[in-house]
Amino acid sequence: MTNPADKYADEALRIDPVKMRSDADLVRGRFWDKLRASLSRLPFAQKLIAARYAATDPATPVRDKAVLLGALAYFIMPLDAIPDFVSLLGFTDDLGVLLLALRTASGAIRPEHHAKAREWLDGGPLATADPDEVARGRVIDHE
């Protein structure tokens, strides 16, 4: 005997190529803008992005660069003290590490880093480090 719910499940799982194409166009056209807009509402997003700019700035002192890069790497790592997928708590350890790093290296995060972060959050491109600076060993991270 078949379960009546199976009929509805089969209907729900049917792939509609027109809808799929429409969804793909929507994702291609608006995903990054939506993500950027969502990030801009996080209270620490600008500080986090400014820290990334400071960490890749050749003028940032090595000690501050190391602190910022360590905290940013911890933020990115999939495994940490409290896994990120844990509801509501997953990013608390990341936030704690980031806030401590931001406090420790606060003098290295200059107004131009905050301006670049704000520009990116407002829709500007994410600047990359100059490859020549990287080759000279003055920048640790680049894209």
Scanning the chain, the segments in alpha helix (DSSP H) are 4-12, 17-40, 45-55, 62-76, 92-104, 111-121, 131-135
- Whether this prediction's pTM lies above 0.75 is answered by no
Collapsing DSSP to helix, strand or coil, 46 comes out as helix
Q: What is the pLDDT of residues 40-74, one digit of tens each?
A: 777 778 888 899 999 989 999 989 999 999 888 88
**Which residues in the chain come in under a pLDDT of 70?**
1-2, 9, 11-13, 78-91, 124-143
Instruction: Note the pLDDT of residue 80.
Output: 56
Structural contact between residues 94 and 77, judged by C-beta atoms closer than 8 angstroms: no
